[in-house]
Amino acid sequence: MSSVARTAPEVPLPPGYTLVEAPHPASLDDADAWAYHAVADVGREHELEVHGYDDLALRPRDVLSGMDHQEYAAKRRFVVVRSAAARALIADGVPPAVHDVVAYLFVLQPATSNAHLSDAFAVVRPQERGRGIGTPLLALAERLAADAGRTVLLSNTSHGTEPPPGPDALAATTGAGRVPADAPGPRFLRAHGYVLEQVERHSVLDLPAAPAGLDAHRAAAREYAGPDYRVHTWTDEVPEEWLDQVAVLFTRMSTDAPTGGVEFGEDPWDARRVRTWVGEQAEKRNGFLVSAAEHVPTGTLAAFTVFLYPRDRDDFAFQEDTLVLREHRGRRLGMLVKVANLDALARERPATRRVHTWNAQENDHMLAINVALGFRPAGVWAAWQRRTTSEDGD
């Protein structure tokens, strides 16, 4: 089947540019994989612009595997291609060169919960901005949202630094956290009616951590937790007997982590979804470490924390979810599982030099743990939202 079989919807791009819906190849070696390679390239350029490094950039295999998995969200990816390259593609099947792809749009709509949400992210290569490419991409995302009956539109921006309070800073509606008001993303989203609902602090922990500090945190956390808690650490797997309980912890992440004004409701997980997540990490060639605290008298998993990392880049890792069940809070279980996971990371990946993490700026308890462990601020990630008029006028 030709890669242009799926014609993209009509959008009013400026002259010289054509929209193409990214074909979905079976493998990244296929000719049809050009769009996913280009998405990764555009995204990487944006990461270098924002942070000066590419730790956070999606790789082509993340794009492929992400699009392979639509069990829990419907996803679409579009690319903007110079028209001459698009004509060659349509007429002769010649894939565009990566530099002929100047922008992409990603649209994600949750499928098993949050049926009111539609998430969009557009990136235009810096040298192509201000020509009216981003605006029709966002309009397309909004049209797709309306077609699917979604009434709350989400988007996000990333920034390498958080500006101090003042006229150059825009504060989140939570009152915690700011973004540079004049950066392209905030200007663009504000102009299109989006509200800055939440700012997350991006923090980095430089490794190896000072052993004395870790020893002190480990000892204090063990003492507070007492003898009833036992820590399990799993590498690249979640054992069958714990799948249901890990699903509960992932579900509670969606309700217990602060979301500011973002209308994100419970996102239920079950054992099958945990299995899917594990499989997806293998496909992406990611490794992961889970440390979980079991409350031994009841056999309950009371807390967990997750590290995720690409296998082919051992210099960095991501601190993903951390959660302590409500009824087990106040016993330093967050610190207990985090230190256990850092110990495991030091054993399994001694070459890792930094860990990235994101926490809501109003999430004082989680930030306090991370600051105590030595995480330093490295920028912000911002959640934007626009509510459209509900059409339930029956």
**If phi over 0 gives left and psi between -120 and 50 gives alpha, with beta otherwise, what is residue 289?**
beta
State the minimum distance, in angstroms, from the CB of residue 57 to ligand COA. Answer: 13
Select from 191, 210, 216, 368 the one that contacts ligand COA (CB under 6 A): 191
Shortest CB 252 distance to ligand COA, Å: 29
**Please, what is the minimum distance in Å from the beta carbon of residue 187 to ligand COA?**
4
Site for ligand COA contains 46 (CB under 6 A): yes
Whose tokens are 């998993």? That residue is 301
Q: Is position 61 an interface residue for ligand COA (rule: CB under 6 A)?
A: no
Q: Does 44 bind ligand COA (CB under 6 A)?
A: no
Q: How far is CA 321 from CA 249, 290, 318, in A?
A: 9, 10, 10
Residue 185 contacts ligand COA per CB under 6 A = yes
* 172 CB neighbour count, 10 Å cutoff: 24
- Nearer Cβ to ligand COA, position 86 or 120? 120
Residues whose CB falls within 8 Å of the CB of residue 373, separated by 6 or more in sequence, listed in order: 205, 209, 213, 214, 217, 335, 338, 339, 342
By the rule CB under 6 A, 124 interacts with ligand COA? yes
Binding segment for ligand COA (CB under 6 A), chosen from 160-168, 186-194, 313-321, 347-355, is 186-194
Question: CB under 6 A: which stretch of 59-67, 133-141, 259-267, 319-327 binds ligand COA?
Answer: 133-141
Q: How far is the CB of 9 from ligand COA (least distance, A)?
A: 17
- Rule CB under 6 A: choose which of 24, 37, 129, 143 binds ligand COA: 129
Q: Given candidates 121, 250, 304, 381, which one binds ligand COA under the rule CB under 6 A? A: 121
CA distance 356 to 377: 10
Alpha-carbon span 289 to 345, nearest angstrom: 8
> Per-residue b/e over 236-266, b at no fewer than 16 CB within 10 Å?
eebeeebbebbbbbbbbbbeebbbbebebee
Question: At what angle are helices 211-225 and 364-373 packed, to 10 degrees?
Answer: 140
Omega of the bond leading into 208 within 30 degrees of 0 (cis): yes
Q: Which is nearer to ligand COA, 182 or 206 (CB)?
A: 182
Rule CB under 6 A: is residue 188 a binding residue for ligand COA?
yes
Select the residue interacting with ligand COA from 39, 133, 204, 301 (CB under 6 A). 133
Pick one of 122, 289, 293, 336: the residue that binds ligand COA (CB under 6 A): 122
Among 9, 93, 130, 208, binds ligand COA (CB under 6 A): 130
If binding is defined by CB under 6 A, does position 287 make contact with ligand COA?
no
> Which of 130-138, 218-226, 241-249, 298-306 is the region at the interface with ligand COA (rule: CB under 6 A)?
130-138
Q: Is 131 in the site for ligand COA (CB under 6 A)?
A: yes
Listed residue (216, 198, 95, 127) closest to 156, CA to CA: 198
Question: For residues 88 and 96, what is the distance between their CA atoms, to the nearest angstrom?
Answer: 8
Helix (H, G, I), strand (E, B) or coil at 192: coil
Nearer to ligand COA, 123 or 238 (CB): 123
Between residues 14 and 16, which has the closer beta carbon with respect to ligand COA? 14
- What secondary structure does DSSP assign to 219-261, as a single string? HHHHHHH-TTEEEEEEES---GGGHHHHHHHHHHHHHHS--TT
Both tokens assigned to 84 = 């001459």
Bridge partners, 20 (sequence order): 79
Q: Of residues 147-166, which lie at the interface with ligand COA (CB under 6 A)?
A: 155, 157
Distance of CA 92 to the CA centre of its chain: 37
Q: How far is the CB of 186 from ligand COA (least distance, A)?
A: 8
The amino acid occupying position 70 is Q
Closest CB to ligand COA among residues 18, 286: 18
* Interface ranges with ligand COA (CB under 6 A): 14, 46, 120-124, 129-135, 155, 157, 184-185, 187-189, 191
